[in-house]
Amino acid sequence: DIQMSQSPSSLSASVGDRVTITCRASQSIGVALGWYQQKPGKAPNLLIYAASSLQSGVPSRFSGSGSGTDFTLTVSSLQAEDFATYYCQQTYSTPLTFGGGTKVEIK
Amino acid sequence: EVQLVESGGGLVQPGGSLRLSCAVSGFTFSDYWMSWVRQAPGKGLEWVAKIKPDGRDTYYVDSVKGRFTISRDNAKNSLSLQTNSLRTEDTAVYFCAREEIGSYFGYWGQGALVAVSS
């Protein structure tokens, strides 16, 4: 199974900050990587697929990059509605696996 | 509008069974792979099972193999997850999700809580 790890597990930031979250796969997955945002009590929402493609309707301040084993999600200017938990997911092979999550909190 | 609505969650004793259902609308159900994803209280996301559009192929995470069964009824636009021999560690909110090209989860239901406790 492919293990996914995220760092940091949590971070504090202010509105307007640039935020970067890292995801690492235990083996090369090409660009088979997605990012999700989840708010408390809600289902996750797909932000990025294929490592760098922006899902329809997602603000352009979200971007993804990387390939192979190392990936990043960047929020260029954090907005109030972006405080949430973010998960990466590999879709290279079954079982599909997620990272442990990164909680973005208000500083 | 795409909608996925889970039902069937509840409290069950260890060793018991529950059948979760997911009613879908707003898209051609028979065109899509579907999955179940769960989230234990305060924990991260875990993919559980997936099923091919025609229902002929299914895949499971190792921890539920032999205990859970995913199925679908394309005529009724319905996805199911039969959960047997439940353990306390199966306690979670179970989401049904539609897979987009590349196996990303583009649409999710609101979730159904399964609580396994004596």
The pLDDT tens digits for B61-72 are 999 999 999 999
CB B50 within 8 A of CB A94: yes
Each residue's pLDDT expressed in tens, for chain B with a length of 118 residues: 999 999 999 999 999 999 999 999 999 999 999 999 999 999 999 999 999 999 999 999 999 999 999 999 999 999 999 999 999 999 999 999 999 999 999 999 999 999 999 9
Q: How far is CA A16 from CA A82, A102, A107, B42, B61, in A?
A: 11, 18, 11, 28, 40
Nearest to A46 among B46, B59, B104 (CB): B104
The helix/strand count (H/E) of chain B reads as 0, 11
Report the residue of chain B nearest A41, measured CA to CA. B110
> Pairing state of beta strands A19-25 and A70-75?
antiparallel
Contact assignment for B102 to A36 by CB distance below 8 Å = no
Please identify which residue in the block is written with the tokens 């307007």.
Answer: A16
Residue A72 has a CB neighbour count (10 Å cut-off) of: 16
CB A86 within 8 A of CB A35: yes
Per CB-CB distance under 8 Å, the chain B contacts of A95 are 47, 59-62
Beta bridge partners of A67: A70
A97 Cβ under 8 Å from any chain B Cβ: yes
Contact assignment for A95 to B106 by CB distance below 8 Å = no
CB A71 within 8 A of CB A64: yes
